[in-house]
Chain A
């Protein structure tokens, strides 16, 4: 467990904004290197790790994906010692004033998001939430130093440091979706010791928070037989809508909806029950809000599954996950892959009825 926690801590302490994933990708390369036969980087920055199966050729392949990019900010304008910023990915401006950030200028240095005094704000904005367009980042430098160190387009990421909370909880920024990267790593570790017929492509996707683009192009690039996306979902907590949130420490949430192949859902649920891995059913009545949206319709289309790790305080500087939910997700993934044989695809007809998902077993 310590090894797992340490990797996650390292991942969430590292920047990797959409399109600029290199720092975090390098850590994942190190973690996956000993676990895969081959590592490749795609033109849009996806990291591919290949683990061949033992089945006879031509072998089917399963793509398991977690996005490695994280939300953050970009400098839009420089005013003396202060920076105007825009968001990359969705961020609630209510939680921003007072947050420490890292400014990725000519070199990395700390900064702080500040709320300007009320009388300096535009009319009608003195009370209530100040929108991101009117918040500033304090550089701590003189105007001249700032203009030397920072330029338009530079990135800014949260600087919150990882904190272990009692009860196997870990808090920090970018847990969305580094927790899932760790779950994939756990699966690869287990597969190392196990026999599996199918080829496995582990993919750390890029640019999920802005375009779901890394996923789209990875699915086209690798043409997997099946794809499983691991991401985070809303955990139960203050104000969470009861029927649209999922308990922490109750295992991975298995997606059900048009973005999910019904038979894949059933296969995962059955397997989880068989192995006594706690699990929950997550309703995704429209789109899943994950990489599976673009993966499902890439090229000729790919049967997709979504597994989510419950997380509290999504898209804030302190997102919280339960470490056991991560290892459970990794184990379920690995066990599923080991079950895949040359007959599996014969059972995969799109029939969402009770009979449909059950009859082929």
Chain B
């Protein structure tokens, strides 16, 4: 499984430019699903199970896209100015490297700030592609790049760029593989454009028209030195979404997930995310409304080129999903 995670995180796929990731996911899931299609926005929508009298249409959404940059200007010396796709923190950016979808590489440099402690912004940064003129520059306005940072297996923990949300993508793939039978129609959705406003999930949810929705994404933790206040920690199990910046989960769905985790004796945590939201927000507000929540993989250093997750959390998230989807669902 770690090799699948490595393969997924190392593919570049910023918001709106997810094709390479989508192709890789297609190859992985095809043998394990009953139906597969790509919708007009580029969401990969799979279905497993035919449902029955008591089965529900359950939509699970993991987003394919990652944060990245887009070239906004190339100057006469060949330096490329850029804008962000999704939320890119300036503090994590200077000194980093990017890889363009056309294969070009560059390093992010920064204008010298007025003082050492000054906080800089993205518009004071540029991409240095190792060229000396605009003519030689291998990228042009509109070209897109992802951050470049290789996968590292630290044993219990793994670190890479784009763990948000390729780890969710990996979890969803493995869930579809491990799910032997289900009384439901399980729609595994690999969504696009989450980082720019949960847009893929918005249209996917409209198309699928589910009875129940879950986002499979990452969430922040409070277990590092002087981190934001949060009781979440790496290694303590999947996090059940109660609230985030963009939604309040349906309490019935939260209770259903929690009861499943208890029954299957899987450790879990309760997730209140102060900043950020997920595809669950889009699913919840689709059509006449969909009872929704999320199961998140706790992650450190989100939206940095080195996002860290715990392998036990990953395995437990898959176990929990398979457990929940293998049996009838009754929301109380």
Contacts and interface: CB of A to CB of B under 8 A. Distances in A.
B138 interface: no
Contacts of B274: 76, 86
Interface string B271-311: 01010000001001101111100000000000000000000
A42 B288 contact: yes
B285 A213 contact: yes
A74 B287 CA distance: 28
Contacts of B291: 43-44
B229 A133 contact: yes
A133 B229 CA distance: 8
A211 B247 contact: yes
Interface of B: 229-231, 242-243, 246-251, 254, 270, 272, 274, 281, 284-285, 287-291
Contacts of B243: 74, 86, 88, 153
Contacts of B289: 42-44, 46, 213-214, 217, 221
Contact of B248 (A133, A210, A217): A210
B288 A152 contact: no
B285 A217 contact: yes
Interface of A: 18-20, 42-44, 46, 74, 76-78, 84, 86, 88, 133, 151-153, 207, 210-211, 213-214, 216-218, 220-221, 294
B290 A43 contact: yes
A109 B56 CA distance: 38
**Chief secondary structure at chain A's binding surface:** mixed
B272 A207 contact: no
B272 A152 contact: yes
A154 B287 CA distance: 28
B251 A19 contact: yes
B230 A76 contact: yes
Contact of B270 (A153, A207, A220, A294): A153
A86 B246 CA distance: 14
A133 to B, nearest CB: 6
Given A42-B288, A217-B288, A86 B272 contact: yes
Contacts of A88: 243, 248
Contacts of A153: 242-243, 254, 270, 272
B231 A76 contact: yes
Contacts of A213: 247, 284-285, 289
